[in-house]
Amino acid sequence: MALDRWIALVFITFCCAYGYLAFFTMDQLLPPFMQRNPVWPSTFPKVLSILGVIVGLIVLLGLEKPDKDPQPSATDINISRLHEYKLGQALMLLALMVVYALMLRPAGFLIATTVFLVAGSAVLGERKWHVMIPVAMLATGFVWYLVQQVLGIFLRPLPFFMGV
């Protein structure tokens, strides 16, 4: 079985577990006045889980690919040539995401996000530091401003020891 179908099988399993939680466990603790509402807090997760299972089944059954060409195309993932893909970059980005999630509170949003964006672009091959750093700082500042000031959601901008 091709790698995309294995991934689809894992995705279907995840969506089934998510759907089970949405259908059977999320609504048990609702107060009585909310149980008469047409839309519950679990409505969107229910829709997502059903759509995820449908999309996963489409990929698993191979319905998205035309059967005209039996030869794999250049864009298909070939397990026998897995060593030729840039797995190092992908694993490094996953490690950066984990470090970013762990450093978000202690380092603050501005520092953690700027370092993540610069390090992520460096892992992907960008070497123009004079472009990377200002763009990462501007993007981080813009997102922080939108979340903090416009949406009113508190994000600790600086490290905890700076008292903000």
The pLDDT of residue 131 is 92
State the Cα–Cα distance between residues 68 and 64, nearest whole angstrom: 12
Identity of the amino acid at 71 = Q
Would the pLDDT of 24 be above 80?
yes
For residue range 52-61, list pLDDT tens digits in order: 999 999 988 8
Residue 112 pLDDT: 93
**What sign does the CA torsion over 145, 147, 148, 149 have?**
positive
Which residue type sits at 87? L
Give per-residue pLDDT as tens, 95-138: 999 999 999 888 889 999 999 999 999 999 888 999 999 999 99
Provide the whole-model pTM.
0.56
Amino acid at 143: V
Structure tokens at 163: 């008292």
Determine the average pLDDT of the residues in 48-73: 81
Question: For the chain, what is the mean pLDDT?
Answer: 85
Tokens of 117: 């964006």
Q: Please give the pLDDT value at position 36.
A: 77
What pLDDT is attached to residue 38?
A: 80
- Is it the case that residue 67 has pLDDT exceeding 70? no
Rounded CA separation 132/121 (Å): 7
- The DSSP secondary structure of 116-160, one letter per residue, reads HHHHHHHHTT---HHHHHHHHHHHHHHHHHIIIIIS------S-G
